[in-house]
Amino acid sequence: MPYAIVTGGTQGMGKAVAEKLLAEGFSVAICARSMDKLKAAEDEWNEKYPTASIVTVNADLSDKQQVFSFADTVLSNFPEIDLLINNAGMYLPGELADEPDGMLEKMIGINLYSAYHLTRKILPVMMAQKQGHIFNMCSIASLRAYPHGGAYSISKYALLGFTENLREEMRPFNIKVTAVCPGAVYTPSWENSNVEESRIMETKDIVNTIWNAYNLSPQANVDMVVMRPVKGDL
C-alpha cells in the first residue's frame, strides 16, 4: 500500500487530492488547523475507505514545532512515504508600501517555511528509499508580479525557488519534485467572490494533473505545471 502526506487536507485542493489518493488505494496523512474539519474528514473517509490507514493531526504549520510534531506522528504510523504534497497555504492581499507590519513574516511562515521544515523531516525516509515524489503547491503568483500581490507573491516566488533547488539536490536519489502553479481554482476562498464558478478552474483539474504527473514512468518528471482558466487570469 502506498503512503502519502497532504498538508491542508480538509478543504479545497488539499481535500480533493487526498480523496483521489484514498480512492486509488493510498493511506493518507493530513493536517489542518481546524479540529472540527479534521474530525469530519476522518469520519467520512473511514466510512468510504475502510482499508486505508488515515492519520489526521491538528497542526498550524506556520509553527516549526507543530510541523515537527506532525512529521513525527506520520513517520510513526507510516513505514514509508511515497508522496508528499505541500499544499498548506494562505492568501492575504496587500501592497508592499502599506500592508500591515508582520504580513511578510506571516506569509513566509505558512507558504514557505511549512513546506521547507516538513520536507526536511521527510527527506531522510525518501532518500533511504531512493524514490518518492514531492509536489509543492506554488501559484501563478510564483511567476509574475500582479496588483495586490504583496507579501503573498513574495512567499510564492520563494516557494518556487525552494522547489527548484530541492529538485536539483534530489536527482541522485530518484526523488521527483514538481512545482504546481495554478491560477484561479474554485475553492471555498472563491465562494463569496461573486465570480461565476464556470469562469475559473475546478479542483479536479488540479487533482487529475497531479495524478497524471505522479504516474509517469520512473525516468520522467514534470518539473513545473502552469494552469490557468481558459479565459485568462482574474
Q: Which DSSP string corresponds to the chain? A: --EEEEESTTSHHHHHHHHHHHHTT-EEEEEES-HHHHHHHHHHHHHH-TTS-EEEEE--TTSHHHHHHHHHHHHHH-S---EEEE---------TTTSPTTHHHHHHIIIIIHHHHHHHHHHHHHHHHT-EEEEEE--GGGTS--TT-HHHHHHHHHHHHHHHHHHHHHGGGTEEEEEEEE--B-SGGGTTS---GGGSB-HHHHHHHHHHHHTS-TT----EEEE--TT---
User: Residues 152, 157, 186, 214: which is the catalytic one?
Assistant: 152
Q: Is 91 a catalytic residue?
A: no
CA distance 5 to 7: 7
Rounded Cα distance, 22 and 18, in Å: 6
Q: Which residues are catalytic?
A: 152
